[in-house]
Structure 1
Amino acid sequence: MLLTITTTHRPATDLGYLLHKHPGRFQSYDLSFGQAHVFYPEASDGRCAACLLLDVDPVGLVRGRGGDGGGGSLLAQYVNDRPYTASSFLSVAIAQVFGSALGGRCKDRPDLATAPIPLEARIDVLPVRGGEAFLRAVFEPLGYAVEAERHPLDERFPEWGESPYFSVTIAGETTLADLLTHLYVLIPVFDGQKHYFVGEDELEKLLAKGGGWLARHPQKDEIARRYLRFRPSLYRQALARLVQEEQPAEAGPEGDERPADRAEDALERPLSLHEQRIGAVLAALRASGARRVLDLGCGEGRLLRELLKDKQFEEIVGMDVSIRSLENARDRLKLDRLPERQAARIRLIHGSLIYRDRRLEGFDAAAVVEVVEHLDPPRLSAFERAVFEFARPRAVVLTTPNREYNVTWEGVGADRLRHSDHRFEWTRQEFRDWAERVAGQHGYRVRFLPVGPVDEALGPPTQMAVFERD
């Protein structure tokens, strides 16, 4: 297996300093499963390429401690692609041979180690379970341009079809440490056959190496699932901790709101927008005649507190992806001190709005208050199915910011989002187009209501859609 890293940063031979490998030398390293070789096929001021060639000993894999070579049967131990395709072996080689570069350390060029430079990495070859679409979905959100050349199973027998093997090139302007970290984590994700036991250590390694980028990645769920070899308990731990990392800041010890939430509240306070929003949602839920109600993305329980005060709502369920928020909601609502009959009306559950959850089925109504804008756009389709196709309450009350209104607030304006954790904000027409499409696809009718003071040209600060099932 071969990894080639190329740069056109001038002088390009500085790549040798970053990798801690001299361009004029051929260097070899003994590893537990074979040998790694580093050499430079090209080294000039204008362009420099460094190759990491891994020579895996297939017999040693079986005889030693290297694992079973990718299969459980005796034949599969000796007949497999492990010596030739990029896998967890290459990740280990990156860590051992390029360890200083992976850690972002360079004594001779410290400024260059932290500076984004044009870099290209080519992998020959990578087994990609999921095909080119998944390959692009993993690398492109990290800012890389992706080129993928798929290889046939056998050129002499084209009727056998395509193989899962690709020669892959990713290119972008980034630091060498980030490039190596992305490769270190993601190469085993495509292959899925780690040559060592996957346990708690691998979970910690994923979170350590994924810090700063994995929590925001739209494919973080699938990356974590594959990296941990579909170990459900480890995957759930990883997802919970990544979700917590994705929050802009933790709540305070007394259940205080996050700083970003406080900033948004301070911005909106002159309009009393929060109170108007909660009041509008409550009115819509009451008008629907609902008795069993969901608060999806309940946060720290602001709407739940008002729902509890209204005897119309006989069963109230609040769900959030953040365990910390649910703990704060429990404290804020004083659930452990409620009278027995009151406590029986409300439940808090941990879950995600992008997965089907049978616990959400059969309810009269659901509130989704200032939630969708926190989802990455690629996840919206999963959210739509989870709520409107699978949970399928009779009514859904959904609010979201009106981006057009942002120009009225100092420090926000037309070019910034209202909240640091928002992934997007819709204009009125964009929201209407989305809501009408979702309603039409899933058998609902929808009407739109303003929340807050309405500007004649810009509309209201918050827009609300009430979906009612036909």
Structure 2
Amino acid sequence: MFLTISTTGTPERPATDLGFLLHKHPDNAQAFSTSYGKAHVLYPEAGVDRCTAALLLEVDAVALVRRGKGRGGAPDAALAQYVNDRPYAASSLLAVALSAVFSSAMRGVCAAKPELPAQQRPLRIEVPALPARGGAGLVRALFEPLGWTVSAEPVPLDAEFPQWGDSRYVSLVLESESLTVAEALRHLYVLLPVLDDAKHYWVSSDEVDKLLRAGEGWLSDHPEQKLITSRYLSRRWSLTRQAMERLELVRLAEADDSAVEEIDNAVDAEAETEERPTPLAVLRREAILTALTQAGAARVLDLGCGQGQLVQALLKEPRFTEIVGVDVSVRALTIASRRLKLDRMGERQASRVRLVQGSLAYTDARLKGYDAAVLSEVIEHLDLPRLPALEYAVFGSARPRTVVVTTPNVEYNVRWESLPAGHVRHGDHRFEWTREEFRGWAAAVAERHGYDVGFVPVGPDDPEVGPPTQMAVFTLGGATEKEAKAA
């Protein structure tokens, strides 16, 4: 099983920087033990102009069988455990070896030269024998949307007998000028087993997390997302459904918010004032802070924290002693961390804040025991059938004493000339409610889970269409609150 990664360079950016990125010195041939054999890393060429790293995986067929692959079955099936394509064709075995041998490179970590991982560079990847269940057309459909130029030549069953036709294997060459090494490795890690449509190990629920980590930044928008997810998870429907739901939340979380900002910060062209009004996003944060202060909250969850604007505002108020930002998007949390300057924050201030990755569609024991939770401009990004799952995760499982929810008031949209009639404020909004619809939903949630609820307008409260943002403040009822504390 064999794979090569090549790059070219100049005296200013030598190709041998590939050694720093892969954390493997070009002058050394190295070997690494795996559960199914031995992985070797070597450099057939290493110069300023061109450098190639090769990964060679020697598969131990006996170890593969002993670890549980293909136990039982008919005699011919037992023979197939030892006589198969696993030692020669790229598969999940090679993907796991990539992750084990180049783990730091996949994460984009390079302590010696921190600037290198983010650099796009010319890359050429060659895989001589790749199982492709779906043919060369599927190989192109998977890799080309990611920025690769793809050459996938079918391997004939026997070169001496062309009439026999082609095998299910292709000789793959990928080339790109616009990707980083980390991105390239993550693409291979996911798509090699997808093309083979098989894995050499049992697929459990933690494979969903592996898929989302490796697919961050590209899988949520890939046109073959469903096929990739299904095959990577060995067609286990429950896991595939879970992954697809989380990918949808990632897509929404990473959506461009420029349209929202344009609406939020819009100035009425007919307004007879020279002063720019306070942006609606700022008014929302101020209203949320007021509600939390009135509730006496000290430990606060920001659910769907995005890029950390509200977390940043909460940190400025000493009364909030513990602030936890939760988001499904690792990318959004990374941006939030930079916004907050967590790496430079003093120890005392840093002890007040945490950023954690998680989906609001699932219950999470980490979210229990807090004074308050905020869902600011979150619910409208979910499909309506998914709202009950979020409702139970927040109000039924986490059960903070106070929950603050804000969402657009669709009735106010007519007041924005820049918003076409019949359009929602953002392309990713699945719905926008009237005041009556929001109050009906909030009242039903409060009744089901033992909360009282009040409503607060955010922004100018138009006498005809109401405020641009509507806010509900849920407070855990007295008897129910005592029961929750006792539990």
Q: TM-score, normalised by structure 2?
A: 0.54
5 Å-filtered alignment, 1:173-252, equals: 173=177, 174-248=179-253
Q: Distance in 1 between matches of 2:254 and 2:170?
A: 40
Aligned partner of 2:422 in structure 1 is: none
5 Å-filtered alignment, 1:231-310, equals: 231-248=236-253, 260-261=259-260, 263-264=262-263
The letter for the 2-side match of 1:20 is H
DSSP 3-state at the match of 2:220: coil
Assess, with a 3 A threshold, how the Cα gap between structure 1 residues 267 and 205 changes in structure 2: closer, same or farther. same
Aligned partner of 1:26 in structure 2 is: 29
Q: Distance in 2 between matches of 1:69 and 1:182?
A: 31
CA contact (8 A) 2:157 2:164 kept: yes
Match for 2:143 among 127, 130, 139? 139
CA RMSD of aligned residues (A): 3.5
The letter for the 2-side match of 1:196 is Y
Query: What is the CA-CA distance between 1:332 and the residue it aligns to?
Result: 3.6
CA contact (8 A) 2:8 2:15 kept: yes
CA contact (8 A) 2:409 2:433 kept: no
Query: What is the CA-CA distance between 1:23 and the residue it aligns to?
Result: 1.3
Q: Distance in 2 between matches of 1:49 and 1:231?
A: 37
Query: What is the CA-CA distance between 1:195 and the residue it aligns to?
Result: 0.8
Query: What is the CA-CA distance between 1:327 and the residue it aligns to?
Result: 10
Assess, with a 3 A threshold, how the Cα gap between structure 1 residues 207 and 330 changes in structure 2: closer, same or farther. farther
Q: Distance in 2 between matches of 1:337 and 1:248?
A: 23
CA contact (8 A) 1:113 1:177 kept: yes
Deviation string 1:101-140 (CA, Å, 9 cap, x unpaired) is 1111112221112211111111121101111111111111
Query: What is the CA-CA distance between 1:43 and the residue it aligns to?
Result: 1.2
Q: Distance in 2 between matches of 1:145 and 1:15?
A: 20
Q: Distance in 2 between matches of 1:329 and 1:77?
A: 62
Query: What is the CA-CA distance between 1:51 and the residue it aligns to?
Result: 0.4
Query: What is the CA-CA distance between 1:206 and the residue it aligns to?
Result: 0.5
CA contact (8 A) 1:105 1:113 kept: yes
Q: Distance in 2 between matches of 1:175 and 1:209?
A: 14
Assess, with a 3 A threshold, how the Cα gap between structure 1 residues 167 and 331 changes in structure 2: closer, same or farther. farther
Aligned partner of 1:412 in structure 2 is: none
Query: What is the CA-CA distance between 1:202 and the residue it aligns to?
Result: 0.3
Q: Distance in 2 between matches of 1:37 and 1:237?
A: 36
Aligned partner of 1:65 in structure 2 is: 67
Aligned partner of 1:2 in structure 2 is: 2
Aligned partner of 1:15 in structure 2 is: 18
Q: TM-score, normalised by structure 1?
A: 0.56
Query: What is the CA-CA distance between 1:331 and the residue it aligns to?
Result: 8.8
DSSP 3-state at the match of 1:28: strand
The alignment status of 1:169 with 2:173, answered yes or no, reads: yes
The letter for the 2-side match of 1:116 is Q
DSSP 3-state at the match of 1:5: strand
Query: What is the CA-CA distance between 1:218 and the residue it aligns to?
Result: 1.2
- Structure 1 stretches lacking a partner, 5+ long: 251-256, 272-296, 305-320, 340-470
Moved more, 107-116 or 70-79: 70-79
Deviation string 1:308-339 (CA, Å, 9 cap, x unpaired) is xxxxxxxxxxxxx98x9479799945555999
DSSP 3-state at the match of 1:55: strand
The letter for the 1-side match of 2:115 is D
Q: Distance in 1 between matches of 2:72 and 2:188?
A: 20
Assess, with a 3 A threshold, how the Cα gap between structure 1 residues 338 and 7 changes in structure 2: closer, same or farther. closer
Q: Distance in 2 between matches of 1:168 and 1:178?
A: 18
Q: Distance in 1 between matches of 2:148 and 2:82?
A: 36
DSSP 3-state at the match of 1:78: coil
Deviation string 1:260-316 (CA, Å, 9 cap, x unpaired) is 346357669879xxxxxxxxxxxxxxxxxxxxxxxxx98899999xxxxxxxxxxxx
Query: What is the CA-CA distance between 1:170 and the residue it aligns to?
Result: 0.8
Q: Distance in 1 between matches of 2:128 and 2:212?
A: 27
Q: Distance in 2 between matches of 1:258 and 1:172?
A: 29
Deviation string 1:382-419 (CA, Å, 9 cap, x unpaired) is xxxxxxxxxxxxxxxxxxxxxxxxxxxxxxxxxxxxxx
Q: Distance in 1 between matches of 2:245 and 2:180?
A: 28
Q: Distance in 2 between matches of 1:144 and 1:69?
A: 39
Q: Distance in 1 between matches of 2:23 and 2:163?
A: 46
DSSP 3-state at the match of 2:119: coil
5 Å-filtered alignment, 1:21-420, equals: 21-62=24-65, 64-65=66-67, 67-68=69-70, 73-173=77-177, 174-248=179-253, 260-261=259-260, 263-264=262-263, 325=430, 332-334=437-439
Query: What is the CA-CA distance between 1:49 and the residue it aligns to?
Result: 0.5
Deviation string 1:62-99 (CA, Å, 9 cap, x unpaired) is 1x215239998312212221111111111111111111
Assess, with a 3 A threshold, how the Cα gap between structure 1 residues 71 and 112 changes in structure 2: closer, same or farther. farther
CA contact (8 A) 1:301 1:332 kept: no
Q: Percent identity?
A: 47
